Structures are given as structure tokens and as C-alpha cells.
Chains A and B, each alone.
Chain A
Amino acid sequence: MTMHARFAVFSLVATVVYVLAYNFGWQAFAYYPLLNRISLDKLPAKEAGPAMMYYGWMTTALIAGLVVAAIVPNKIAAKLPAAVAWVVPLLLVAFTLVYEKHWFL
């Protein structure tokens, strides 16, 4: 269980960082489907077409989750209450609905 407790740490960190990433624009990169190109810099929309940040947000969250899960001491990981694993995602769902409400107003 001790080693496996890192799984819960990964989930916690990656879900939170994903939401922070789309909220604050922390994408690791942007993907330009019209050019089929990944770019670390923002390209002009006129030539590059629409930018997709989704893959970049996912990558940011994945890296953050893996790094924290790898370095967190086993003792701390094992102490993570099980409730955190479901309370945090529910809060993130609520945040997402509030964040995206502008589409419906």
C-alpha cells in the first residue's frame, strides 16, 4: 500500500494542476492542427490557424503528477486521507462548471 499510495498522490496533483493549467494558461506547448505543428511559442492566428492548448495542459499535468509522485516521501503519501481522492475531484468539477459558465450566459 505504501508504494501504491503514490498513485493517489499522482491523481491529486495531476487533476489539480490540469485545472490550474487551463485556468492560468500553463500549457507545456500549443498544437496547431492546421499546420500539424507543436510550438512552444504562440504563432500568429492568421497564418497558423487556431491553437489547441488541451494537449499542452494534459502534458503539464502529467509531468507535475509524475514528478511529485516520484519525490514525495512514502510516509507522507501513505498519510494522504482517502477522502482527498474524491473531495478534490468534486471541487474541480464545480470549478470547471463555474469557469465554463460564460458559454451559457
Chain B
Amino acid sequence: MRNLIYVNMMRLKKSRIFRAGVAVSMAYVAFLLFMNYQEMTDSPETVIGQLNWYFLSTLPVASAFCSVFCGMFLGTEYSDGTMRNKLMVGHTRKEIYIANLLTVFLANAFVYLAGCLVTAVMGAAMFGWNLANPMQLAFRMFSGILMLGAYAGIFTLLSMLIDSKAISATVCMVSYVVLFLGAPFLQTAVFSYYHGASLNHMPSESVRPLLEFLYDFLPVGQELQISGIFIHLYRLPVYSVICIALTTICGMAVFTKKDLK
């Protein structure tokens, strides 16, 4: 398996999508910092001077990157037929699956941490090392990284089971967009139980456990909680681990039986 991970890392270094993901993540944080720095001169009271928010701001970038990268990177193994080379020389399907999952997760984490690096360097230079509640920030970052693992689990499952690069890339991106667009509705519905009805029709109390579970369990819901107002922050890492385990077990079970071409 170490060999397979090493090979994936070699490919990762050459991957244009990965490089673009890292560049976008870094540029995005740099842009946010720069805009706030400029605003500081006009209206200092509106500026987000604490770095906490910036450290979490690239989580959505890394999530979106995962949906694009996973289908393309893993789909290439199918489209170029190179997965056969690994199977034919005796690597098991489980090894291949796990190696791919770890690669996608590491790529995600790298994209996220690249943004954090810019925050640490540029942010500290612009606003000083201004952190509120560092322990909670560390926990949020930890939860965020596990959430990226959950995304990696879901998109690896889709990419490994769909043996067309074009279809798997499309399915990953569309499923992310659907979840991303649906998340605010879920958030509004869940928050209505806490802050009163902001919806025309407040959801019934009977569906509340389900909505709250979805909001906590789905990575898109976690994304909103980690970088904003949370309901059950301490449940999120547990749910992420469960999500990674479930998707990996299901994915490996199907992939080991799958007829490859």
C-alpha cells in the first residue's frame, strides 16, 4: 500500500487540478485578508481583525476542490486503464481503494492548510497574531479536517464505483452543488427551532431530530457549523469518522466485487 500511496503522491505533484486548488485556496485567503486590510483604513470597526475566521475560510474551497479533484484524479485511473497495472502486479482492490482515499484526503487537507499558511503569514503581518479562544479554533480546525475526510470518503466512493471519468467527475460536482445549495435551507429549518420561525411554514417538531441529525452528519451542514454558529460542535468529528467509515466499508465492499474493464 505504501507503494501505491507513493505513486499517487507522484501523480499529485504533477496534477494541474491539485496545483490550481492550492493556488485558489491561497489566493482566496490572501484576497480576503487584503480586502479587510484595505477596509481597516476606512472603517476600522467593521474589520474582522481576529484571524479565527480566516483560518476557517478555506474549508469551503477545499470541499469544492474535493468534488472536482476526486472525479478527475481517480477517474484517470479508469480512463487511462492504469488501475489494471496495479491489479495485475498483485495489489489487492482494498489496498487500491484505501490508497486512493488517503490520497484524496491528503490533497484536500493540503489545499486547506495552504490557505491556513497564508493566513498565518499574511494575517499575522497585517492584523497581528490576534486569535480568540485558540482552543476552540483548534477544535474547529480539527473538525474541519475530519469533515474534509468525510468529503473524501463520499467522493472516493462515487469515483471508484463509476468507471467513466466524465460521469464520475460530473456526479461528484453535481452532488456537491446540490448539497451546497441545500445546506442553507437545512440550516434555516434547524435554526427555526432555536431562534423562532423564520420560515413561512416552520417544520414540525417530529422531524426535528432528523433535520438536526442531517445538519450535523452531512459534511455541508458541518461546514456551516464549523465556520459559523454551531449547534453540536463536539458531535461533528464523531459523525465525520462514522461517515468516513461507512463510505469506505460500502465502497470497498462494492469495489472488490466490481467487474473492471
Chains A and B belong together in one complex: no
Chain B interfacial positions (CB closer than 8 Å to A): none
Interface of A toward B, CB cutoff 8 Å: none
